[in-house]
Structure 1
């Protein structure tokens, strides 16, 4: 099994030496790295190169989970995608190794916790929106035009005296927004 390492530090001042030494000691044949790139950013050249380098039967190795990314949901997604490609994952500090039954169990527990967190966030969001509606708050984007403006715009466009672009400019909206608004508004 080929082991490909990935190391990352957030600032250009930080040093990759500790991570590289640990990855080399664990048996990584090659180490890809990103320096000065946040873990919140999943568009990283070193990570992209590591993922492209990996083949079925290989293992991606990181020093710590937070080197791969900050969001548990993104980490779960990435490790799941690796599994679908028949690539194992190992985090040295957390002792997660998906090639072992205990490592797979720990990973699945993390995945279940991430799914639970997503569900809680969704439930809280829906409850907050319901409470706001009950208080009379409008949820979502405000209408681009009032009912009166929509009526005036429709009349102007239908009698051909003004172009859609001119009417949109008058109400400070994009022509597509005007057409979409008029299309979704019933004719009185």
Structure 2
């Protein structure tokens, strides 16, 4: 049986391109996930690994869709080998049913991990440089004027929480979060 596996890292990303490529390849069954790339738990991948039998094939659009690290990819490769399962990556032209495919698979896994590490280093360097220039990262604070007013009202001890939330439009939860900071 030919199994397809598709994954995107966030809910906003779309699986359509991967699914189209997998269907064109001729998969019999598709497993798909939407989640962050760093998460270890991938229920659909775990389910797929449970149903594999000797002679099956796993097809992915790209190597980084099934694994985010060389170590994990090699572990999967060993599991596939134990089970007698072939692994195919369409975009990377990898087919582990032959010696060159196995070799190329490991090379591509190492290159993919290197690329992720380089991107991560660049991001960290950029963030550090921005901090050194006085830039503050992250999402802008919401309700800054409202929060200031609410805190002044609270500190004056003249208003109840209900009066403060009604006057500022802040929720009780938000107000308490700022009070407890």
**TM-score, with length taken from structure 2:** 0.55
2:2 is aligned to: 4
Q: Does 1:19 align with 2:18?
A: no
**Matching of residues 4-153 of structure 1 within 5 Å:** 4-6=2-4, 10=16, 19-20=25-26, 31-32=28-29, 42-43=33-34, 51=48, 54-55=51-52, 57=54, 59-62=56-59, 68-69=60-61, 72-77=63-68, 80=73, 83=76, 86-87=79-80, 88-91=85-88, 94-97=93-96, 103-144=101-142, 145=144, 148-149=148-149, 151-153=151-153
Distance in 2 separating the partners of 1:143 and 1:96: 49
User: How many equivalent pairs are there?
Assistant: 151
User: CA RMSD, aligned part only?
Assistant: 4.4
Unaligned runs of 5+ in 1: 24-30, 35-40, 63-67
2:160 is aligned to: 162
Structure (1 or 2) with the larger CA radius of gyration: 1
Unaligned runs of 5+ in 2: 7-14, 35-43
Distance in 1 separating the partners of 2:65 and 2:74: 11
C-alpha contact (below 8 Å) 1:95/1:103 kept by paired residues: yes
Secondary structure at 2:175's aligned position in 1?
Answer: helix
